[in-house]
Each structure stands twice: as C-alpha cells, then as structure tokens.
Amino acid sequence: MHQQDSSVSNVVLNTLYNVGARDEDSERTGFAHLFEHLMFGGSLNVPSFDAAIENAGGQNNAFTTNEITNYYISVPLENVETAFWLESDRMLALNINPKSLSVQQGVVIEEFKQRCFNAPFGKLWHHIRELLYTESPYRWPTIGKEISHVEDATLSDVQSFYNQFYIPQNAIVSVVGDLSLEETKSLCEKWFEPIHKTGNLNANKYVVDVPQLERRFLEATDLSPNPAVFLVWKGPSYSEARSLELDIFADLLGGSEVSDLQQVLVKEKQICNAAECFYLRGLNEGLFILYGILNDEISHELVEKELLETMKSFISKGNENQHVFEGIKNKAYTNLLFEQINPMNRAQKLAYFENLGNLEGINSEAELVKNLNLNDILSTAKNTFLTSNMSVIYYSPIQ
C-alpha cells in the first residue's frame, strides 16, 4: 500500500501481520504480544533494532490486538532504505535465542503483573472474555490467559509461532511519505522480494460460539477503589454499518461530562462517581461496555438497574437528542479529517483496511459518518442491548 505525500519530511513504513491473540493455542496464550517485544531484539544482520533506528533519526513501535500485530517505523526521507532493510531483516530471520527469549519473557511477565495484578480492574478483560466466550479464541486477552503460558514458553514454541505467522504471505506493508510509487516498488522488490519462506496466509478460521441467549453473571474481586458494575454486549464487526452506529451511540450516551450517564447517575442521583460506555470495534465482532463505579453504600443491583434505565430512557427520547447527535457526528467527522494529517495514522489505516479486504473503505469513512441518521442509531441500540444477551460483572474491592 502506498501514498505519496510531499508535505511531510518523514516516511512511515507500517507492517501489519495477520496474527493476533485469537491465533494462539489455548494452552500457549500471550505469544502474539510476546512477539511484539521479540521483534525488537535483533535479527540476522541487526544486533540492535532500536539502535539502528535511532542512528537513522527515526522512531518505531508496535501494538497487538486479538486480531493483528502492527509494527511501524518513521524515518527521515534520506534514511528510508534503512527502514526497509530493518523491517525486512526481522521478517527474514529474527534472532530468537535463549538470551533474547529470556529477556523478553521477563519484560512481558512484569507487564502482566503490573497490568493485571497491580492495577485497578486489572483482571477486567480476563473476566469479560471468559464470561462472554466459551469455545471461541476470543476468550482470552492479548496479554494472555495465564502468566505461566509465557513463563513456560520454549525456544521451539516461539520459533514455531514465528515460522507460521511471520512470513511475507501473512504481512501487509504500507508506505506514506514523499516517496514515489516507483521508488517504493523498487525498495520493496530489493528488500522483501528475496524473502522466501514456506507457509500460507492465515486463513482466519475460528470456532464461533453459539449466540448468547441468556443473561450471564459473574461476581469478582479485584484491585479497585470502589465497587463497580460492568454490563457487556457483543456487537457487529467493523465492516458492518451497525458497528459505526454503536460507536457513535456510545459517545452520545456516555462520552462526555454532559452525557446522560454523567448527568443522571453521577450528578443527579449521585449513585456513581463515574459512569461511562464505549464500543470496541473489531474485525470479527465488537464489544459494547457500559459501566458505573459505585458510591459508598450503593448496591450493585441498584446501579445495574439504573444503568439500563438511563440507556433505555435515552433511546426513548428519539429526536429530542438531535442537537446532541449533530454535535457528536460533527466531532467524529472532524476527527477523521484531522486524522488524515498524520502520516502514521494513514499508513496504519491503509494496512488495516487492506487486511479487512476493503481498501476502498478508507475513502468512504468520513462520508459514512456524515450520512449517519439518529433514528437508525437508536434502532440499532434498541435491538442490540437486550437483557437476554447481556453479560454482567459485579466487582468488589479486595479486602
């Protein structure tokens, strides 16, 4: 994927691998995230990846989701070939050895401890995914299901994961900057074309759970300053129109200090010290999270009831919220326009939409937002947020 932009001085090289936490063995979870760290540990011809990038005046990083792992490099135009060389070298032959594996295992294990054991609501995503999914590989978060899975990972385990997924057939490279299409093709042919590794594109075939037709419930304790209630629903995939509608609905219901969740539950009834919602759009499906952090002497049952009532009341207002909707829609539309200024955002979106199988979709995003209709959004919300397909978590602080 390529987009020439003569207005920027740096070139962004983004590489998306079609592998995420959902591609892991259920007894070897956390590997996709572990590789996010291992990929910076050196390769066949590059002992120190970060040092090479810094010497080229660039920066780099990566992120992992349940569905993809994404790496990006930004370098001055005059050093762009360095980025191609580095990215291709770790695709060709990552230096996975006992020392590098041990070091990165330690880093990931410490991150697991800090994020899951020593942070407020640290086990939330474990609880949510275990409650919502039974057989699907979405039933664990990207950090991994158990810390022991990363602790016990062998050199053979991680080498096998690398050989299966870190191949040219499973990667999408996007380039944004003042580099012509001919120059980009030439650099790709020079650095990526010679890489010959056996394997196939990830088929993305996964076990799908039967539709949820009952209320699911979990009581849990965790590090948290106050008790809390989390209500969760599965939603449509990124490519479905309803996904965008639920994203906007989340902003309408709980995306600001003047939203209904804040006004009713925090300011008027004063049963929560925080109440919010958000929608996580995913390639396969999304998750809508609605939650309230309880004030003292307030019951979980009351907050669950009031969260649902506030959402139901908001939906029933219909066009009364048209002015609020117009403001939210304009904000989303403006954000998409400003997002295009950043070459990093463009490079990542090019790769993401190509992986989605809808590259042209990147050009219609803003128009889709512009054409949103409040009645359609409220109808989608009404049909999605049923008590019969809701998952509920009551959190209590660890005593």
Integer CA distances (angstroms), 233 to 28, 44, 53, 290, 312, in order: 27, 45, 42, 9, 15
Domains 2-191 and 216-397 are alike in CATH topology: yes
Confidence of residue 398 (pLDDT cuts 50, 70, 90): confident
How many other CB atoms sit within 10 Å of the CB of residue 118?
9
In this prediction, residue 240 carries a pLDDT of: 92
Asked if 249 and 380 touch (Cβ cutoff 8 Å), the reply is yes
The rounded distance, in Å, linking the Cα atoms of 264 and 267 is 6
**Is residue 140 scored above 80 in pLDDT?**
yes
**Is residue 38 scored above 80 in pLDDT?**
yes
**Is residue 55 scored above 80 in pLDDT?**
yes
The rounded distance, in Å, linking the Cα atoms of 151 and 273 is 38
Which residue has better confidence, 4 or 340? 4
What would the CATH number be for the domain defined by 216-397? 3.30.830.10
In this prediction, residue 210 carries a pLDDT of: 92
In this prediction, residue 258 carries a pLDDT of: 85
| Average pLDDT over all residues of the chain | 94
In this prediction, residue 48 carries a pLDDT of: 85
**Is residue 399 scored above 80 in pLDDT?**
no
What is the side-by-side strand order in the sheet with 216-222? 216-222, 391-397, 228-235, 286-294, 272-280
Question: Taking residues 328-344, what's their average pLDDT?
Answer: 90
Domain boundaries along the sequence of the chain: 2-191, 216-397
In this prediction, residue 126 carries a pLDDT of: 96
**Is residue 372 scored above 90 in pLDDT?**
yes
What is the side-by-side strand order in the sheet with 2-4? 2-4, 171-177, 10-17, 69-76, 59-64
Question: Taking residues 42-70, what's their average pLDDT?
Answer: 91
* Least confident piece of the model among 46-50, 127-131, 278-282, 315-319: 46-50
The rounded distance, in Å, linking the Cα atoms of 237 and 311 is 22
In this prediction, residue 256 carries a pLDDT of: 85
- For the chain, the farthest-separated pair of C-alpha atoms sits apart, in whole angstroms, at 67
Asked if 34 and 105 touch (Cβ cutoff 8 Å), the reply is yes
> Residue 128 carries which side chain, given as an amino acid letter?
I
Q: Write the secondary structure of 176-199 as one string of H (helix), E (strand) and C (coil).
A: EECCCHHHHHHHHHHHCCCCCCCC
In this prediction, residue 338 carries a pLDDT of: 86
In this prediction, residue 16 carries a pLDDT of: 97
In this prediction, residue 354 carries a pLDDT of: 95
In this prediction, residue 341 carries a pLDDT of: 87
Question: Taking residues 324-351, what's their average pLDDT?
Answer: 92
Question: Taking residues 131-150, what's their average pLDDT?
Answer: 96
> Residue 146 carries which side chain, given as an amino acid letter?
E
* Least confident piece of the model among 45-59, 77-91, 225-239, 376-390: 45-59
Question: Taking residues 136-157, what's their average pLDDT?
Answer: 96
3-state secondary structure at position 94: strand
**Is residue 1 scored above 90 in pLDDT?**
no
Question: Taking residues 34-63, what's their average pLDDT?
Answer: 90
DSSP state of 30: T
Confidence of residue 340 (pLDDT cuts 50, 70, 90): confident
- Residue 148: which residues within 8 A CB-CB, separation 6 or more? none
Q: What are phi and psi for residue 7, nearest 5 degrees?
A: -85, -10
- The fold of the 2-191 domain, in CATH, is Cytochrome Bc1 Complex; Chain A, domain 1 (3.30.830)
Question: Taking residues 292-306, what's their average pLDDT?
Answer: 96
pLDDT digits (tens, 9 = 90+) for 212-268: 999 999 999 988 889 999 999 999 999 999 999 999 999 999 988 889 999 999 999
Percentage of the chain modeled with pLDDT above 90: 84
Confidence of residue 145 (pLDDT cuts 50, 70, 90): very high
Asked if 61 and 39 touch (Cβ cutoff 8 Å), the reply is no
